[in-house]
Chain A
Amino acid sequence: MKKILSFTLVLLVLCTLLSFTTFAEATAASEKAEVLDNYCTINKNFESITFNNKTYLPIEKDAFSVSRTEYIDLNEKFADDSTEDIYKYTDVYYYSGLSYLLHVDIETDFNYTTKYYVEESHYADFLNVLNGETISAYGTESHYSSIYSFSLEQVESWIENGEKIVDRADSLADCEIFYLYATDKGGALRKESGMILRKHSTDDGADKYYLVFYQDYDRTHFYADGRFAIDSDVETTFYLLADTELSAALSEFYDTEPEDELDWMITGALPQGIFFVITLLFFALLPLAIIIVSAIVLLKKRQNNPYRLSLVTVMISAFAVIIGYLVILILII
């Protein structure tokens, strides 16, 4: 036993030493990779931020999402002390390998908001993507090979020439639904859009696609009367779909609920009375019977009863079950 213990102890010490040395080496490697100056200056009332001799301007947060997830904490300095006093905590981060976008968390009394700041030279590009006006060409430095940039003009060109760029597509009654992702040059900003193209084969056998719907969207609903609606966080838009055949196909696709084999489990399919009786039995009558039996056993042998603790606990617990059940029953009926 002593030998085993000694051997385990030696192993433990060795493991700890190894962990320390490897940890030190790895930390040194990570420190070497860190080259950026980690200080940024927050200018008056968060109007802009200066970092690495570049100026960053605020941009609307809700209009897009950021593809990157790894960010590094910066040390903040305030150009104006009075601003610092207002905010309890402020954290500024930059995304790994993407220094033109800053992520800023501002906190006041346990409420915090997130803002994004974009470097001046990228600002116009960002705004263009957000407004859907012009969209930059796909950046070569992007790590996201499945993301494509596009503009309305490009979409029109695809329709005209029968070209398409597909990220993900679902076939639906001769239509194809495309999910497209617009990105800025660096591949950081991400904006999702959807469109429905209808496929037509020309006489010479070539495929052509006609745009029936194109919109930024979150969720789409189709109605039998030809309308379809776009639910978005910002606003809801209704369009009238002139193509009745397509409208019917879409309605059928989206509105038909598949038959559920477990439909019989839905309460409505079975009489409620049965379940009421079962719960009454489990949560009221059975506990009541337990209380009565326990009381009888308790009363039969009042002194030196070795079961007193169990019986009293049983009675109190069963009583709690009945009370809880009755209150729930009264509230939901």
Chain B
Amino acid sequence: MFAKLLKYDLRSVFKYWWIAAVSSAALTVIGGFCINIINVDYTEYHAIYTFAIIGLVLCIIGLVIPPVLTEVLILVRIYKHFFTDEGYLTFTLPVKKSQLINSKILMSLIFNILTILVLGISVFVMLGIGLPDIVFDKKLWVDIISTINNVIKAIGIGFTVTYIAEVIVLFIASLLMSTLTLFACLTVAAVITRKHKILVAIAIYYGASSILSGIIQFIMIDGSFLNVFEKIGALGEGPQKLCFAMILLVIIGFIMTISAGIHFLQSWLFERKLNLD
């Protein structure tokens, strides 16, 4: 049943999301040509140059739209599916509430990752068209591979794999925390108010973000007070690498603890407090 829930969630958001993705890809092609024009000596072609600049600015603005639109589509899906009249129907489905929540979280995670992939490819296409001499320069890629090789040699394969795994987990954990925070804010808003749920949710989100960033900043300043990095710098090579792996682990653990805490709050509100009357 979870698979079915996920399928319908994905389909519902994908219905509009693909338009943003395709538009972004189309804009990057135009943006690439604009960069190409800007790169060429323009002294005799002021009008062309101006057009190219305007086109490039519009394309860059266009690139910002997909991530914003993705978040909006996800929130609209969650809001409509749970907190409007459609919610009555949703909660009559023969599934656990936790499955309903988890399907939305997974859907959000998938679309966030897809959006990042689309943006990455779009930027690459734009630069590939706009600056082919640089992007397709054999030397650049040899340099990049050579640098990566040197870094791997310096760090060691074991630690490289550990760091890469930790960074991937950290990336997913951060996305998870951001989605869960938004979702939880919507739920809290739906629990405490009948009207203007979205407005209240935005206010709660800002409050929650400030508190979370405050906590993280306090911990970071606390870390700098301890001169942790200075002390790590004084260690030998092996312990230094281990220390950085552990720092990443602590950050992941911290973010995951907060995320799971928000998930707990979310589930508890759904189970005990949410009333759609």
Residues of chain A whose beta carbon lies under 8 Å from any beta carbon of chain B: 12, 15-16, 18-20, 22-23, 25-27, 29-30, 33, 73, 89, 91, 105, 107, 110-112, 265, 267, 270, 272, 275-276, 278-279, 282-283, 287, 290, 306-307, 309-311, 313-314, 316-321, 323-325, 327-328, 331-332
* Inter-subunit contact B243/A332 (CB<8 Å): yes
* Inter-subunit contact A26/B243 (CB<8 Å): no
The residue from A23, A283, A287 contacting B36, defined by CB atoms under 8 A apart: A23
* Inter-subunit contact A321/B250 (CB<8 Å): yes
When C-beta atoms are compared, the residue in chain B nearest to A281 turns out to be B222
* Inter-subunit contact B98/A306 (CB<8 Å): yes
Q: Is B128 an interface residue (CB 8 A)?
A: no
* Inter-subunit contact A282/B96 (CB<8 Å): no
List the 6 closest pairs (A to B, CB-CB), nearest first: A317-B256, A320-B253, A321-B253, A313-B260, A324-B250, A310-B264
Residues of chain B whose beta carbon lies under 8 Å from any beta carbon of chain A: 26, 29-30, 33-34, 36-37, 40-42, 44-45, 48, 51-52, 55, 96-98, 102, 133, 138-139, 142-143, 145-146, 149, 219, 222-228, 231-232, 235, 239, 242-243, 246-247, 249-250, 252-257, 259-261, 263-264, 267-268, 271
When C-beta atoms are compared, the residue in chain A nearest to B221 turns out to be A265
Listed A/B pairs (5) with beta-carbon separation below 8 Å = A73-B133, A307-B264, A313-B260, A317-B259, A332-B232
* Inter-subunit contact A287/B257 (CB<8 Å): yes
Number of contacts between A and B (CB, 8 Å)? Answer: 156
The residue from B30, B146, B235 contacting A331, defined by CB atoms under 8 A apart: B235
Q: Chain B contacts of A112 at CB under 8 A? A: 139, 142-143, 146
Known: A26-B40, A30-B40, A310-B264. Contact between A279 and B246, CB under 8 A?
A: no
* Inter-subunit contact B249/A310 (CB<8 Å): no
* Inter-subunit contact A283/B250 (CB<8 Å): yes
When C-beta atoms are compared, the residue in chain A nearest to B271 turns out to be A306
* Inter-subunit contact B256/A30 (CB<8 Å): no
Q: Chain B contacts of A279 at CB under 8 A? A: 222-223, 226
* Inter-subunit contact B231/A332 (CB<8 Å): yes
State A283–B223 Cα separation when bound (angstroms). 11
* Inter-subunit contact A275/B226 (CB<8 Å): yes
- Shortest CB-to-CB span from B91 to chain A, Å, is 14
When C-beta atoms are compared, the residue in chain A nearest to B244 turns out to be A328
* Inter-subunit contact A105/B222 (CB<8 Å): no
Q: Chain A contacts of B52 at CB under 8 A? A: 19, 22
Q: Chain B contacts of A18 at CB under 8 A? A: 51
* Inter-subunit contact A332/B228 (CB<8 Å): yes
When C-beta atoms are compared, the residue in chain A nearest to B235 turns out to be A331
State A331–B232 Cα separation when bound (angstroms). 8
When C-beta atoms are compared, the residue in chain A nearest to B265 turns out to be A310
State A26–B250 Cα separation when bound (angstroms). 54
* Inter-subunit contact B253/A23 (CB<8 Å): no
* Inter-subunit contact B252/A110 (CB<8 Å): no
Interface centre among B242, B246, B252, by most chain A C-beta atoms within 10 angstroms, is: B246
State A85–B174 Cα separation when bound (angstroms). 49
State A278–B228 Cα separation when bound (angstroms). 14
State A112–B226 Cα separation when bound (angstroms). 42
* Inter-subunit contact A306/B97 (CB<8 Å): yes
The residue from B40, B97, B257 contacting A318, defined by CB atoms under 8 A apart: B257
* Inter-subunit contact A89/B225 (CB<8 Å): no
Known: A19-B37, A22-B48, A29-B45. Contact between A320 and B249, CB under 8 A?
A: yes
* Inter-subunit contact A324/B253 (CB<8 Å): yes
* Inter-subunit contact B42/A26 (CB<8 Å): yes
When C-beta atoms are compared, the residue in chain B nearest to A8 turns out to be B23
Q: Chain B contacts of A327 at CB under 8 A? A: 242-243, 246
* Inter-subunit contact A331/B253 (CB<8 Å): no
State A287–B26 Cα separation when bound (angstroms). 48
* Inter-subunit contact A314/B264 (CB<8 Å): yes
Q: Chain A contacts of B256 at CB under 8 A? A: 313, 316-317, 320
